[in-house]
Amino acid sequence: MEIRIGIANTPRELSFESDESADAVRKTVTDALESGASHLSFTDTKGNSYVVPTAGVTFVEVGTDQSRRVGFVA
């Protein structure tokens, strides 16, 4: 699924694909924000790690677990 994270004072958002479920990503983000953690960390499908400071998070968009359909719809 695709995850997009907006970060304050940056012109672009962080976007990557993750193997985690949408519920797991939501829980990670809400737990970090509610507990006052200093950062969020994610790992994408290629094994890259992302660490984002919670103070700078402006939005988190979590895609669906369904893959995109390819082709034309009749």
pLDDT digits (tens, 9 = 90+) for 14-66: 999 999 988 999 999 999 999 999 999 999 999 999 999 999 999 999 987 66
| Secondary structure letter of residue 54 according to DSSP | G
Number of domains in the chain: 1
Is 5 in contact with 13 (CB distance < 8 Å)?
Answer: yes
CATH of the domain at 33: 2.30.30
Q: Is residue 29 part of a domain?
A: yes
Q: Name the token pair of 4.
A: 């997009």
Please state, in angstroms and rounded to a whole number, the distance separating the CA atoms of residues 21 and 12.
Answer: 24
Q: Is residue 41 part of a domain?
A: yes
| Secondary structure letter of residue 20 according to DSSP | S
Q: Is residue 68 part of a domain?
A: no
- Count of C-beta atoms within a 10 Å radius of residue 69: 7
For the whole model, what pTM was predicted? 0.78
